[in-house]
Structure 1
Amino acid sequence: MSASEKRTGRAGGRAARVAARAAGLADDEKAVRPGLSGGAYKPLTDSECRTVYDTALTLLDEFGMGSPIPEFIEVVVPAGGWVDEDGRLHFPRSLVEDAVDMAAKSFTWHGFDDDRSIEVGGDRVHFGTGGAAVSVYEHETRKHRPSDLQDVYDVARLVDTLEHVHFHVRTLVARDMVEARNLDVNTAYAVAMGTTKPMGTSFFQPEHVHEVVDMFDEMLGGQSGSFAKRPFCVANNTFVVPPLRYAEDAVRSMVAQVRTGMPINLLSAGQAGATSPAALAGSLAQALAECLSALTCVNLMNPGHPCVMGLWPFVSDLRTGAMSGGSGEEAVLNAAAAQVANWLGLPSGVAAGMADSKMPDNQAGHEKGLTVALAGHPGSQSRLRVCRDAGQHSGLLVRGPGDRQRHVGRRQPDHPGHRGHTGQTLSRNHSVGHPRRRPLPGSGPDAFHHAVRVHLPRGRRPAEPGRLV
């Protein structure tokens, strides 16, 4: 045994240690991994969660939802609801409470590759992408240009390589797809071809849902119903025009998503001070009411259908009326939204990572970090528009110090007070092994460029961007 091995207590030789490090850690040994438990940050007390829930139930009972489609009326009215003279569909409190009880409390969001699937629900936290940006910032020219289908595909390929981004919902609008059908079908195809992680997209019309599911069946082997057995795509469905009114095409698409077995992210995106109350608690109650109405309709059509409570309450700058996605109020409000959904025992997804800055500058970094960290702490799926490092370090915040039972209060042979200790710990056995459990490798300012340079060229490219299907 060499003198260095005697000094550090490490055996096996340098080559063995290098090989072990190159092999990486098992998933359960990593400091940051998909599905860490949140819940440490709770902006609301339990009684305040109850108040928000009671207010939402009152809104649905007394005011109801405007512009209901026949499919919703056909399931809600026989269950005890009613339509008033203004055509608004009312939901009795007991009906909504029953829907919460029968709703799926968790489900598997499959990856196209099974080993990338995630379990949605409980206090498990996952970070992923989302949004519908209409332009791409070119850092070479410092200008924005319209996004196209190739960008949709390239982003999916990039996300596929980022360890701490756990799912990919399309982030860009393919503005070169002029017709709604072309946009829906080609976007779904481009995202599915770009990543094997759990994915998501959105739809303008119900017919497009059926067409895309047929395409997914072909991807899974060609047998009808294959996608319903192993759904790897979630539909982002912004089904409501706040306040308290359904969007007809979106809810018709929701019916198609239920019938084809596609999980649904039920999105309510009211803007406090514009399309929802300026008071943040009131805006939260309205968003909850809207999502509960859709959850009730979905579960009356198909009990236990996989749904995510997509409370995305936004905030207005009351001085200008503009949306303020990077504000502290936005961060707290979405953290509260995640907490309320978790308090009800329902899977949740909230918005984070937005910035008021129009450039990727210091302000944008501050706003993204603030909103992502607060969204993850209550325990929620978080949609974000950031690179891998933001999800990585936010995940570390959710995790906390870690290894507490393993190391805190334990008398370590490496402790400076131990007989024969040299007074420094850098070369000690415990110190040498511990950094591998921290999310350090691959971080830093060059990580993004490394991912683009090394991984992006290996992705699968469509034969003819713009005419994928």
Structure 2
Amino acid sequence: MNAPVSRRSGGRSARRAARAAPLSQDVRPIRAGLEGGQYKPLTDRDMMRIHETALDALEQIGLADAPQSGIDIMTAAGAILGDDGRLRFPRALVEDMLAKANKDVTLPGRDAKHDLNLSGNRVHFGTAGAAVHMVDVDTQEYRDSTLQDLHDAARIADQLDNIHFLQRPMVARDITDNREMDLNSIYACCTGTTKHIGISFSDPAYVQDGLEMLYMIAGGEDAWRARPFVSNTNCFVVPPMKFATESCEAMEQCIRGGMPVLLLSAGMAGATAPSTIAGAIVQATAECLAGIVYVNAIAPGHPAIFGTWPFGLDLRTGAMSVGSGEQALLSAGCAQMHKFYGLPGGAAAGASDSKLPDMQAGWEQMCSNVMAGLSGLNMVYEAAGMHASLLGFCHESLILGDDLIGQALRCVRGIEVDDETLALDQIRDVCLGGPGHYLGTDATLSRMQKDHVYPTFGDRTSPKEWAEIDKPDLVEKAKTRKAEILSQTSAARFAPDLDKALRARFNIHLPQ
């Protein structure tokens, strides 16, 4: 009586082992850069109306608080400085700068296998944010985030197939000097992953030091400019419709230093942006169009990401609602506007209002990640690990998010319809003299890896089997995987002579 069970268990174990083996890129069912664009919450007429309204806002309202350098740059290009100090942008100027904008951006990784092609509807998922807390899954408490936490997040992200880039997800609160925090954040990320990295500068005075560090890491300024593997995440506006003076000054230096920029407009719908979804998209679009003028007036064709990041607000309490359906619609609608202009774009999706990696986090993260992917969003920021409405980050949730994003990417890939997938020959063979089922057929076995995404941590056992293997817990599995990753030497670590030179030039806080 035990023999059938043994055979079934052995076959299942063999299948699990096969699924655990790394797959070549041509076999993998999902990968970075899958084409989205299937989901379109906005009609063509809707997009045209948003575009025209954004142009009206730029012409009639404009933006305040540009630095003097920015005023000089943009007025020389054709912007108009009003008596009220606001810069206004004629339609013709915006159209001219859109024509000059880089529409075929590739963000390099330190390792070329991680390069991100942002053309068309290619979708990439990654981290982002400026969380100030870490989630301790053992105590269910929040504590201040540290530089080591940031470095560990980079090392974990480097090992996750479905996390395609690392934008700094948390602030190193244990470094009180802002210059040292900025420089150590670059170091911690770059020694943790060879994927593309996004960083911020807290003061324009620190940009040149940051560029010097990156030139050293790249092997010289020319090598850096050829493959800038770090981009500047720049909140160049303070919604509604104001430039962030110091951030703009930092952006100008980053552009001249060869660093790609993310033009980030992060209004709060109902607070610093209109409460309607369409209105929030209009304002974010207008602000980012002003950024396109700014960037291309400095350096035509400089790589810039159209970063419309409007966030939702719970109007009952004033709390952020990043895990809501409204947030998912905001980001999907923004992705359509990116395609309307033919520009590489990014928005936020995948963050949760839940404080822990629980069921609420799961439904919130999946909803917006799937919708963002289906909309063809090039850069899906905050896609994993982010909790408490962007206040907390969780390493274990980052690991579990890799599984979740894998399923989202399978939705993005969609349904292929051709002679082979329509499967008439299979149906004929099985039904006419065949076994009457498709289990174990050559056709089924040959496509089981190509067509299906198998979760690493998600559990598909029966209740009986689940009990027999001691009822494994998702978070416990993630803790084990985290320990495995962090027990290994980082593949992104610097050569000893480079590390020594960096430590001699900068005050690096991470231990050797």
Match of 2:29 among 28, 31, 34: 31
Q: State whether residues 310 and 331 of structure 2, in contact with CA within 8 Å, keep that contact through their aligned partners in structure 1.
A: yes
The AA in structure 2 aligned to 1:454 is: E
- State the Cα deviation string for residues 182-230 of structure 1 (Å, max 9, x = none): 1110001100000011111111122322212211111122x23321111
Which segments of 5 or more consecutive residues in structure 1 lack a partner in the other structure?
1-16
SS of residue matched to 1:41 = coil
| Structure 2 Cα separation of the partners of residues 363 and 80 of structure 1 | 49
| Structure 2 Cα separation of the partners of residues 389 and 237 of structure 1 | 29
Distance 1:53 1:145, change over 3 A: same
SS of residue matched to 2:424 = coil
Shift of 1:433: 2.3
1:245-394 alignment, distance < 5 Å? 245-380=242-377, 381-383=379-381, 384-386=383-385, 387-394=401-408
1:37-48 alignment, distance < 5 Å? 37-48=35-46
**Paired residue for 1:172?**
170
Q: State whether residues 19 and 454 of structure 2, in contact with CA within 8 Å, keep that contact through their aligned partners in structure 1.
A: no
SS of residue matched to 1:210 = helix
1:235 aligns with 2:221: no
1:184 aligns with 2:182: yes
1:399 aligns with 2:413: yes
1:420-435 alignment, distance < 5 Å? 420-435=433-448
| Structure 2 Cα separation of the partners of residues 440 and 21 of structure 1 | 7
SS of residue matched to 1:136 = strand
| Structure 2 Cα separation of the partners of residues 21 and 336 of structure 1 | 36
| Structure 2 Cα separation of the partners of residues 316 and 18 of structure 1 | 43
Shift of 1:371: 1.1
| Structure 1 Cα separation of the partners of residues 426 and 40 of structure 2 | 39
| Structure 1 Cα separation of the partners of residues 135 and 409 of structure 2 | 27
Q: State whether residues 189 and 468 of structure 1, in contact with CA within 8 Å, keep that contact through their aligned partners in structure 2.
A: no
Q: State whether residues 136 and 147 of structure 1, in contact with CA within 8 Å, keep that contact through their aligned partners in structure 2.
A: yes
Shift of 1:456: 2.4
RMSD between aligned residues: 2.3
Shift of 1:180: 1.3
**TM-score when scaled to structure 1?**
0.91
Match of 1:122 among 120, 123, 128: 120
| Structure 1 Cα separation of the partners of residues 453 and 104 of structure 2 | 28
**Paired residue for 1:209?**
207
SS of residue matched to 2:418 = helix
Q: State whether residues 186 and 468 of structure 1, in contact with CA within 8 Å, keep that contact through their aligned partners in structure 2.
A: no
Shift of 1:455: 2.5
| Structure 1 Cα separation of the partners of residues 351 and 151 of structure 2 | 21
Higher-helix-fraction structure: 2
- State the Cα deviation string for residues 262-292 of structure 1 (Å, max 9, x = none): 0111100001110111122111101111111
Q: State whether residues 157 and 459 of structure 1, in contact with CA within 8 Å, keep that contact through their aligned partners in structure 2.
A: no
Shift of 1:18: 11
1:101-140 alignment, distance < 5 Å? 101-140=99-138
Distance 1:135 1:309, change over 3 A: same
Q: State whether residues 242 and 269 of structure 1, in contact with CA within 8 Å, keep that contact through their aligned partners in structure 2.
A: yes
**Bigger mean CA deviation after superposition, 315-324 or 334-343:** 315-324
Shift of 1:443: 4.2
**TM-score when scaled to structure 2?**
0.84
Shift of 1:100: 1.1
The AA in structure 1 aligned to 2:485 is: H
SS of residue matched to 2:134 = strand
Shift of 1:114: 1.1
Shift of 1:450: 5.1
| Structure 2 Cα separation of the partners of residues 439 and 127 of structure 1 | 16
- State the Cα deviation string for residues 302-323 of structure 1 (Å, max 9, x = none): 0000011110111111111221
Match of 2:509 among 461, 466, 469: 466
Shift of 1:418: 5.0
Question: What is the percentage of aligned positions where both structures have the same residue?
Answer: 39
Q: State whether residues 128 and 167 of structure 1, in contact with CA within 8 Å, keep that contact through their aligned partners in structure 2.
A: yes
Distance 1:467 1:359, change over 3 A: closer
The AA in structure 2 aligned to 1:332 is: L
SS of residue matched to 2:105 = strand
| Structure 1 Cα separation of the partners of residues 456 and 211 of structure 2 | 37
Distance 1:327 1:215, change over 3 A: same
**Bigger mean CA deviation after superposition, 292-301 or 27-36:** 27-36
SS of residue matched to 2:39 = coil
Distance 1:432 1:277, change over 3 A: same
| Structure 2 Cα separation of the partners of residues 29 and 443 of structure 1 | 21
Match of 1:199 among 178, 197, 200: 197
Q: State whether residues 416 and 424 of structure 1, in contact with CA within 8 Å, keep that contact through their aligned partners in structure 2.
A: no
Shift of 1:69: 1.3
Shift of 1:370: 0.7
**Bigger mean CA deviation after superposition, 290-299 or 27-36:** 27-36
**Paired residue for 1:453?**
483
| Structure 1 Cα separation of the partners of residues 360 and 346 of structure 2 | 25
Distance 1:434 1:441, change over 3 A: farther
Q: State whether residues 67 and 247 of structure 1, in contact with CA within 8 Å, keep that contact through their aligned partners in structure 2.
A: yes
Shift of 1:415: 4.7
**Bigger mean CA deviation after superposition, 373-382 or 149-158:** 373-382
Shift of 1:400: 1.1
Distance 1:415 1:131, change over 3 A: farther
Distance 1:86 1:195, change over 3 A: same
**Paired residue for 1:143?**
141
| Structure 1 Cα separation of the partners of residues 324 and 70 of structure 2 | 36
SS of residue matched to 2:509 = coil
**Paired residue for 2:496?**
none
| Structure 1 Cα separation of the partners of residues 237 and 191 of structure 2 | 30
